[in-house]
Amino acid sequence: MSGGARRDWGARGGGPLRGELLVPGDKSVSHRAIMLASLADGVSRIDGFLEGQDARATEAIFRRLGVRIEAPGEGVRIVHGAGIDGLRAASGPLDCGNAGTAMRLLAGLLCGQAFDSVLTGDASLSKRPMGRVAGPLARMGARIDSAPGGLPPLRIHANSGLQSIDFTAKVASAQVKSAVLLAGLYARGETVVREPQPTRDYSERMLAAFGWPIEFAPGLARLRGGHRLRATDVAVPADFSSAAFFLVAASLVPGSELVLRRVGMNPRRTGLLQVLRAMGAEIAEENPGEQGGEPVADLRVRHAPLRGIEVPRAHVADMIDEFPVLFVAAACAAGTTRIQGAAELRVKESDRIAAMAEGLRALGARIEETPDGALIHGGALHGGQVDSHGDHRVAMAFAVAAQRAAGEVRIGDVANVATSFPGFEPLSRSAGFGLDAGPA
Ligand SMILES: O=C(O)C1=C[C@@H](OP(=O)(O)O)[C@@H](O)[C@H](O)C1
Ligand SMILES: C=C(OP(=O)(O)O)C(=O)O
């Protein structure tokens, strides 16, 4: 589940980047579409489903929980909803693979069921903190056992009466918010989640689309237990986080012009766009529209010289998955970029501050790490050997760095790119990236 055999890349600048690209479907939306469609009454169709390992892990888990899911074509799923109380116990543990989203949202959802479940993950997920969901869920009356330190695996005991809570989260995390809201579907009374900074609101929007009464505004969500979900079709937009690699690459490589088609533009996801523009990037939004209740647009990006900035803390949650590639933009910009308030990066698939600082230094960049960010001094990059630490976003960020580096960049341990961005290699090559799969 965690990407299979080790793979490496050899990457180098291949000249200007050009063309029109459609990146795969949004990962956050794909996870949630499977979950809510599985719990709904009736049949839902999902189009644009991400055929990546993370979303497929969630799909496989719901099949094991007794839900019939057909896959008639690439990116299409027909989900025969089991109803809000229709899931069945699976025999054996449920493997979330590399997906923090799967494990944390499922923790919330499964503590509302009439049976016990065990959630496991790969080596990376097994090091990620689950106390942040187990804590509030325990306050709701859930019984969840974890390994020492609040780590996976999680054993979730059958629901013996969940109570609603009014929960003020310490970390800005859509996964924590979603876990509490999903448990709230099964709780008596009104569940309220308050956030220190607003995070992506896909769970809220999608619950509303499936007919569950919910009130939400940036930083706040409230719902009551005891309703039912109505099947609905979901059209998943292209993932902004996947488009981000091309936004930065085309900005950095002279002569480039790329169009990223039909990209999801939920304002809680597009912080990188504001930050890149403040750095001098030329990115235009064209053909704005709507897909599956989400704003979408084509993004046209042209090469432009970038300058370092202080990244506003207010944007951090809105670009939490884009920091690896922002590190690359900053390392190639004129002047210094300061990142603060981003300690969450240390508990993602890898410690993304350490992984990016280590790799960019190996390519000649000057970076000072801080506990919650970094100071990145822009300059020229040379070739070298870097390690992605098994982290998909770190691997793709270094493939972008290589397009601007003076020599070849060898990137170790890239198999996990398939968790979020299947087809990254051919798609990026079609845009002009120099990128080969090398020997291990
Ligand atoms: O809810 C989601 O779908 C996600 C929330 C974010 O995690 P946190 O909630 O841990 O910040 C993000 O990093 C992850 O890729 C997807
Ligand atoms: C952090 C990420 O995902 P998850 O938490 O679902 O593993 C990511 O995709 O960058």
Mutate to test the pocket of ligand 1, among 28, 29, 54, 242 (most ligand atoms within 8 A of CB): 28
Q: Which ligand is nearest to the CA of 32?
A: 1
Paired tokens of 76:
């299409």
End-to-end Cα separation, the chain, in angstroms: 19
Contacts of 123 (CB under 8 A, 6+ apart): 2, 390
Kindly report the CA angle at 101 between 96 and 105, in degrees rounded to 5? 90
Spatial CA neighbour of 285 closest among 295, 293, 294, 275 = 295
Q: Which ligand is nearest to the CA of 325?
A: 2
Sequence letter at residue 287:
N
Q: Provide the pLDDT confidence category of residue 3 given band limits of 50, 70 and 90.
A: very low
Interface predicted TM-score (ipTM) over 0.95:
yes
pLDDT reported for residue 15:
93
Distances (CA, A) of 165 to 134, 143, 179, 401: 14, 15, 12, 45
Is 321 considered catalytic here? yes
Q: Are strands 373-377 and 18-21 parallel, antiparallel or unpaired?
A: unpaired
Distances (CA, A) of 113 to 78, 89, 166, 190, 433: 23, 9, 21, 18, 47
CA distance 200 to 202: 6
pTM score: 0.98
Q: Provide the pLDDT confidence category of residue 279 given band limits of 50, 70 and 90.
A: very high
What DSSP character marks residue 335?
A: S
Paired tokens of 220:
């706040």
Catalytic residue among 321, 351, 391, 413: 321
What's the average model confidence in pLDDT over 88-99? Answer: 97
pLDDT reported for residue 1:
37
Q: How many CA within 13 A on the CB side of residue 54?
A: 31
Paired tokens of 154:
């999680």
Q: Ligand 1, closest atom to CA 105? A: 1
Contacts of 217 (CB under 8 A, 6+ apart): none
Q: Are strands 234-235 and 43-47 parallel, antiparallel or unpaired?
A: parallel
Give me the helices (H) in 83-190, please: 100-110, 131-139, 174-184
What DSSP character marks residue 241?
A: H
- Say if residues 286 and 237 touch (Cβ distance below 8 Å): no
pLDDT(393) > 50? yes
Q: Ligand 1, closest atom to CA 200? A: 1
pLDDT tens-place string over residues 206-247? 999 999 999 999 999 999 999 999 999 999 999 999 999 999
pLDDT(376) > 50? yes
What's the average model confidence in pLDDT over 325-348? Answer: 98
Centre of ligand 2 to C-alpha 349, Å, is 7
Paired tokens of 4:
């299979």
Kindly report the CA angle at 300 between 297 and 303, in degrees rounded to 5? 150
Task: Print the SS3 string covering 354-401.
Answer: HHHHHHHHHCCCEEEEECCEEEEECCCCCCEEEECCCCHHHHHHHHHH
pLDDT tens-place string over residues 311-334? 999 999 999 999 999 999 999 999
What residues form DSSP beta bridges with 377?
336, 366
Give the rounded distance of the alpha carbon of 229 from its chain centre: 25
CA distance 196 to 81: 34
In order of their start, the domains of the chain are: 8-25+237-438 (3.65.10.10), 27-235 (3.65.10.10)
Kindly state the percentage of the chain with pLDDT values over 70. Answer: 98
Tell me if the bond preceding 153 is cis, omega within 30° of 0. yes
Residue with tokens 């690359």: 328
Residue with tokens 């670009």: 319
What's the average model confidence in pLDDT over 72-97? Answer: 98
Q: How many helices (H) and strands (E) does the chain have?
A: 13, 23
- The closest residue, in CA terms, to atom 5 on ligand 2 is 100
